[in-house]
Structure 1
């Protein structure tokens, strides 16, 4: 395995205070930027001694695209461009940059045509399965290092105990704190074996909220005792075991600090995370351009300074590097600057000097790994088992709702049973009462009903009400809450629409494999008895 920057060494020359402050900044960089924007970033890195960068696909797909109005342009050569830009930006830096990315389910979270692994909620359906999650973390770490990325801002260790959560949901391992801890630890160990840095997020816990912090400020109105019992549990346990960094989310916790969001709260960052919980590593902010906090600081550099003053070490997605450096130099003590600088320097030493890691095997095993995960996560939620036997022993409709997604599941049913795949309209006009319904939701996030249009959703509701149905869902399990399921409804959760997961779903339908997965969250809809 090659790492573009393994030959970099850390300079021992004495840095000025301004250069040390520059090391605390992590501006966003974009794979699909123009050459003019790339040159501008090169100058910023060189002139202000920026310490790290975080890659996003494009300005349209990053947190700046709050209303989702900018078109995301597909770029089949994103991966090659990523490696080119890393080389350019490293060349511009006098001190090697820490290159970061959000690769919670692989580089595919940001980059086309790269291996994608299951979402955390899918891994949460594993009954145990820590060895598989270790392998996922390891594969993602290998992919990061091969691209020249040393810092994966993952995993999410939020406990998703709010079905209305618009931003965490599928990114969380689930609602059980012990399982979230075990799975997070396995993922971290896998990444660590490749020498990839981690960041547990979003401290102090972004699970129990119905607000998207990209758009507004979520409020978590819980006492410290309540937080320690649940939200803070995986953070504390992982800190005790050793993590590279903790990312602080944009949250208001009025019982801890009723004046400041966690991003700028010394009570939460310094008093709680640093002193009470004993974390000595790097504390990094969530993206500072997010509306939860950015709107409150219209003066350039003031947000960066406030976050640093509260105890932050790394200022992620800072859009005002020059002004932020000036504000910190004006207001912070040399001792405080040195503390944060030393923490960053320790991470750089770990990556560029110690450089300890395992080597990736030559074979590409990600499809095999996805298949094994699919077999062990497929989950039955059956309300009427007798109806299932009747369905399979008599004729049934093979109905597909796939929104243009590749649907090998329904095609395999057609080939095996000789039942043509039909759409919702054809199913509604048929007198046949039994139905296998494959649903591929348009979106993984709950915004706008997971992307379903009202007409399609109404047709699904009518079919479920009128027919004896077996539903295979290839997506976020929270979709079940909008389907108007009956108490007797039968559902199989496949979680992902990957080819491997569709193949496993078909094998399950024909009785070749048994379901072993466990639903990792609570649904609002109560319609089944899990077997």
Structure 2
């Protein structure tokens, strides 16, 4: 059920034992685990060889300020750049598709299964979201977000829409506190939820990550721990059959749900299939000792569905004309984006 982090650039014996625990499904990597490409490849190889079970290895490699691996990788622009800088929709969608494909290809070349992407939140005002959002309205972001998703899917990577039903309206950062969204239910369903709804209908989302936001006019619990949002809306009304990840239960926004065991229990009871718990090693031990749960067959099958489907080497990738072309275009866009930010921010 649990995806955890590791402390450093090498795997310790204690971490090997913890990763082998029956409740651990995988791990998420951060910038602190990365020095250069060779070191990262060696770390992942060590994880695969020394932990005697299949693990889902994940990362946040969205682009912009949320890109854990930089040196030796293509520096991807923030998602806002695609619409802000492109001259027309056709150009923005072409660039977004290249970005999704290239990001997935670089992760697969390192034997990483999944990058948690894309962000489907609307607007740029939220401290936690900002330029991670593709745009302001459902109509404007859908073609670009779908293109990014199509690039990921073409490479064979599962897609994760976040942060359901939409984190963009609140200003507070759920990494630091529990945000409250006081808008009427009708406003959320007519606006924020639409990108998720439309992409679910098209079968484009493999997984969804709910927000640590309390939508006060809908439920008293954060969406990540809400049966209303996950079972009633996501599963029943929207007919979503993929994986539901909790967002990181170590975030301050999850503190509303209690201690780490209580947070995990509430997230599972609400409908989450896999739980993220990061930067809280003592919390991980508490959950492993205190959580009593046996994943269902459906949850196990959903978990397996997220594993990467293609193998590609860096040598093959770098020799590819498509990769070279995409890298050139995205590097140029990133440079333009940095100039734009200097002028407008």
Scaled by the length of structure 1, what TM-score is found? 0.58
Structure 2 residue 236 is the aligned partner of structure 1 residue 275: yes
Q: Distance in 1 between matches of 2:23 and 2:270?
A: 23
Q: Deviations over 1:425-479 (max 9, x none)?
A: xxxxxxxxxxxxxxx7xxxxxxxxxxxxxxxxxxxxxxxxxxxxxxx644484x2
Match of 2:69 among 103, 107, 111: 111
Q: Distance in 2 between matches of 1:106 and 1:85?
A: 24
The corresponding residue for 2:186 is 225
Q: Distance in 2 between matches of 1:170 and 1:78?
A: 26
Match of 1:121 among 80, 83, 95: 80
Corresponding residue pairs, total: 331
Q: Could you say if the C-alpha distance between residues 256 and 344 of structure 1 is closer, same or farther in structure 2, counting changes exceeding 3 Å?
A: same
Please tell me whether the aligned partners of residues 64 and 79 of structure 2 are also in contact (alpha carbons under 8 angstroms). Answer: no
Q: Distance in 2 between matches of 1:80 and 1:246?
A: 31
Q: Distance in 2 between matches of 1:355 and 1:136?
A: 18
Shift of 1:137: 0.7
Structure 2 alignment gaps of length 5 or more: none
Shift of 1:356: 8.5
The corresponding residue for 1:341 is 300
The corresponding residue for 2:319 is 362
Match of 1:39 among 3, 13, 17: 13
Q: Could you say if the C-alpha distance between residues 170 and 34 of structure 1 is closer, same or farther in structure 2, counting changes exceeding 3 Å?
A: closer
The corresponding residue for 1:131 is 94
The corresponding residue for 1:285 is 246
Q: Could you say if the C-alpha distance between residues 341 and 476 of structure 1 is closer, same or farther in structure 2, counting changes exceeding 3 Å?
A: farther
Structure 2 residue 1 is the aligned partner of structure 1 residue 27: no
Q: Could you say if the C-alpha distance between residues 115 and 374 of structure 1 is closer, same or farther in structure 2, counting changes exceeding 3 Å?
A: closer
Q: Deviations over 1:234-263 (max 9, x none)?
A: 0011111221100111101011102x1112
**Cα RMSD over matched residues?**
2.8
Q: Could you say if the C-alpha distance between residues 54 and 102 of structure 1 is closer, same or farther in structure 2, counting changes exceeding 3 Å?
A: same
Please tell me whether the aligned partners of residues 99 and 151 of structure 1 are also in contact (alpha carbons under 8 angstroms). Answer: yes
Shift of 1:365: 3.4
Q: Distance in 2 between matches of 1:34 and 1:226?
A: 45
Matched ranges for 1:130-529 at <5 A: 130-160=93-123, 163=125, 165-242=126-203, 243-258=205-220, 260-294=221-255, 296-298=257-259, 300-317=260-277, 319=280, 320-325=283-288, 327-329=290-292, 337-348=296-307, 351=308, 355=310, 360=317, 362-363=319-320, 364-370=324-330, 373=333, 473-475=340-342, 477=344, 479=345
- Normalized per residue, the structure richer in helix is 2
Q: Could you say if the C-alpha distance between residues 86 and 362 of structure 1 is closer, same or farther in structure 2, counting changes exceeding 3 Å?
A: same
Structure 1 alignment gaps of length 5 or more: 1-23, 60-74, 379-439, 441-471, 480-531
Please tell me whether the aligned partners of residues 114 and 306 of structure 2 are also in contact (alpha carbons under 8 angstroms). Answer: no
Please tell me whether the aligned partners of residues 76 and 334 of structure 2 are also in contact (alpha carbons under 8 angstroms). Answer: no
Shift of 1:39: 2.5
Secondary structure of the corresponding residue to residue 340 of structure 1:
helix
Shift of 1:328: 4.0
The corresponding residue for 1:501 is none
Please tell me whether the aligned partners of residues 150 and 195 of structure 1 are also in contact (alpha carbons under 8 angstroms). Answer: no
Shift of 1:101: 0.6
Shift of 1:55: 0.5
Q: Deviations over 1:178-216 (max 9, x none)?
A: 121111110011011111222110111010111011111
Q: Distance in 2 between matches of 1:316 and 1:143?
A: 23
Q: Deviations over 1:65-122 (max 9, x none)?
A: xxxxxxxxxx7x3322221221111123332111111111189811231211111111
Q: Distance in 2 between matches of 1:153 and 1:97?
A: 16
Q: Distance in 2 between matches of 1:474 and 1:346?
A: 38
The corresponding residue for 1:456 is none
Runs of 4+ deviating beyond 6 Å: 356-359
Q: Distance in 2 between matches of 1:249 and 1:262?
A: 6
Please tell me whether the aligned partners of residues 49 and 93 of structure 1 are also in contact (alpha carbons under 8 angstroms). Answer: no
Secondary structure of the corresponding residue to residue 255 of structure 1:
coil
State which drifts further: 361-370 or 37-46.
361-370
Which of the pair has the greater relative contact order for Cα pairs under 8 Å at 6+ separation? 2
